């Protein structure tokens, strides 16, 4: 489906000039920078479970809910909900956002996990994103749909935390997605990340223009930085993921929620063994076409550098595993069709 690009020998980032370049040995500038910084930094101990319990204690309030768990129904977020309720005996509010394209399998996982755990569950489904996604796919294929969506759902998450006066936001972020406590989403798509320079610029340009031209979207945030800045002024929260602190591997907690909660893996997903909305296939296709990689390549490369994943494992889950039919099945929902694939 895509032309082969030269890929870094250490991670899985392809050459994508000017931001990602390979040297004569076939190693990318991001891996070289990582090596250089690793030597300079003081060795930090990895986060421990006691750090997590200390944080949860520090932010504990007398409110009705102890934490808001962003639960999409995927394995990482379902396990996060499980840990909050079962392991730490907290009262979480599970929050599922449906941009209109979530799969029934994912929604059912979120619903059934909340029910089995006896956690309150809030589902927010909107039709508002559909027009924006459709316009982006048709006219601005360089825009990464996942970025638009994550801006929207982080904004919504902060608003829900404020609405219910909840101090802790919990997500299923893995160590490849982020290891920083605050400003998680900022870290993922922020301006200063070289891997996201091109993608980030495309998102900002699109949102600036789109919100100006479409009055119904005037209040839509222009960037993730704007979302976080405004949220911090309204309500104090800390954003964390149990996966940064707990020693369990992905396989271990997937087994746990499968046995305890009846969690089911989706039939089709990209990357392999993940859960994402149907538009993810479109987003991946356009990202590969325009940049030669997706944000999943960035996350897994980070995990490889940190020794949390092997390069072969990453290459296996990142192999394109969907076809034209599946792509056009989801594109049709936006009134679009990919002709040349
Ligand atoms: Zn590399």
Please write down the long-range contacts of 189-195, taking CB distance under 8 Å and 24 or more positions apart: 189/147, 189/150, 189/224, 189/295, 190/224, 190/225, 191/225, 193/298, 194/19, 194/20, 194/29, 194/30, 195/13, 195/19, 195/20, 195/30, 195/293, 195/298, 195/301
- How many angstroms does the Cα of residue 146 sit away from the middle of ligand 1? 23
- How many angstroms does the Cα of residue 259 sit away from the middle of ligand 1? 37
- How many angstroms does the Cα of residue 125 sit away from the middle of ligand 1? 38
- How many angstroms does the Cα of residue 254 sit away from the middle of ligand 1? 29
Residue 333 has a pLDDT of 93
- Over residues 299-308, the mean pLDDT reads 89
Residue 141 scores a pLDDT above 80: yes
| 178 found inside a domain | yes
| 305 found inside a domain | no
Residue 341 has a pLDDT of 67
- How many angstroms does the Cα of residue 195 sit away from the middle of ligand 1? 11
pLDDT in tens, 95-118: 999 999 999 999 999 999 999 999
Residue 189 has a pLDDT of 45
- How many angstroms does the Cα of residue 192 sit away from the middle of ligand 1? 18
- How many angstroms does the Cα of residue 226 sit away from the middle of ligand 1? 30
- How many angstroms does the Cα of residue 8 sit away from the middle of ligand 1? 5
pLDDT in tens, 166-214: 999 999 988 766 554 433 444 444 445 778 888 888 999 999 999 999 9
Token pair, residue 42, equals 């003081």
| 36 found inside a domain | no
Q: What is the largest CA-CA distance in the chain?
A: 59
- Over residues 156-175, the mean pLDDT reads 94
Percent of the chain with pLDDT over 90: 68
Whose tokens are 């520090």? That residue is 58
- How many angstroms does the Cα of residue 199 sit away from the middle of ligand 1? 18
- How many angstroms does the Cα of residue 305 sit away from the middle of ligand 1? 8
Residue 160 has a pLDDT of 97
pTM: 0.88
- How many angstroms does the Cα of residue 15 sit away from the middle of ligand 1? 9
- Over residues 19-23, the mean pLDDT reads 92
Output the average pLDDT for the chain.
Answer: 89
- How many angstroms does the Cα of residue 237 sit away from the middle of ligand 1? 34
List phi, psi (to 5°) of 83.
Answer: -60, -45
Residue 176 has a pLDDT of 67
Q: List C-alpha distances in Å: 305 to 9, 142, 243, 309.
A: 12, 27, 18, 8
- How many angstroms does the Cα of residue 145 sit away from the middle of ligand 1? 25
| 341 found inside a domain | no
Q: Do 117 and 86 touch, CB atoms closer than 8 A?
A: yes
pLDDT in tens, 232-256: 999 999 999 999 899 998 899 999 9
Q: List C-alpha distances in Å: 147 to 56, 209, 287.
A: 29, 16, 11
Residue 39 has a pLDDT of 75
CATH of the domain at 98: 3.40.50.620
Residue 186 has a pLDDT of 41
| 139 found inside a domain | yes
| 273 found inside a domain | no
Q: CA angle at residue 173 from 243 to 81, to 5 degrees?
A: 65
| 58 found inside a domain | yes
- How many angstroms does the Cα of residue 127 sit away from the middle of ligand 1? 39
- How many angstroms does the Cα of residue 10 sit away from the middle of ligand 1? 5
- How many angstroms does the Cα of residue 178 sit away from the middle of ligand 1? 18
Residue 178 has a pLDDT of 59
- How many angstroms does the Cα of residue 301 sit away from the middle of ligand 1? 7
Please tell me the distance from the alpha carbon of residue 170 to that of residue 209, in angstroms, as a whole number: 32
Domain containing residue 228: 49-244
- How many angstroms does the Cα of residue 26 sit away from the middle of ligand 1? 8
| 21 found inside a domain | no
Structurally, how many domains does the chain consist of? 1
pLDDT in tens, 248-278: 988 999 999 999 999 999 888 888 878 888 8
């Amino acid at each position: 489906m895509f032309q082969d690009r030269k890929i870094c020998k250490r991670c899985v980032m392809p050459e994508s000039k000017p931001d990602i370049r390979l040297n004569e040995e076939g190693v990318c500038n991001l891996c070289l920078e990582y090596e250089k910084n690793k030597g300079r930094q003081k060795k930090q101990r990895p986060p421990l479970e006691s750090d997590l319990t200390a944080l949860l204690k520090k932010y504990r309030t007398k409110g009705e809910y102890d934490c808001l768990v962003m639960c999409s129904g995927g394995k990482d977020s379902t396990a996060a909900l499980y840990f909050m309720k079962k392991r730490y005996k907290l009262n979480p509010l599970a929050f599922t956002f449906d941009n209109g394209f979530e799969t029934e399998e994912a929604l059912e996982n979120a619903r059934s996990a909340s029910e089995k755990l006896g956690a309150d569950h809030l589902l927010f489904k909107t039709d508002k994103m559909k027009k924006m996604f459709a316009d982006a796919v048709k006219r601005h294929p360089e825009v990464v749909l996942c970025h638009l969506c994550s801006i929207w759902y982080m904004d919504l998450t902060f608003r829900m935390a404020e609405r219910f006066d909840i101090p802790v936001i919990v997500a299923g972020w893995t160590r490849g997605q982020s290891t920083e406590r605050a400003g998680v989403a900022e870290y993922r798509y922020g301006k200063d990340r070289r891997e996201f320079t091109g993608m980030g610029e495309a998102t900002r340009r699109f949102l600036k223009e789109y919100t100006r031209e479409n009055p119904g979207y005037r209040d839509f945030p222009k960037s993730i930085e704007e979302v976080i800045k405004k949220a911090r002024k309204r309500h104090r929260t800390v954003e964390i993921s149990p996966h940064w602190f707990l020693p369990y591997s992905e396989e271990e907690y997937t087994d746990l929620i499968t046995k305890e909660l009846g969690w089911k893996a989706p039939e089709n997903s990209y990357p392999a063994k993940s859960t994402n909305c149907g538009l993810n296939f479109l987003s991946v296709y356009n990202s590969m076409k325009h940049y030669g990689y997706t944000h999943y390549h960035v996350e897994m490369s980070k995990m490889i550098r940190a020794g949390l994943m092997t390069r072969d494992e990453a290459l296996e889950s990142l192999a394109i595993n969907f076809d034209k039919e599946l792509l056009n099945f989801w594109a049709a929902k936006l009134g679009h069709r990919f002709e040349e694939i």
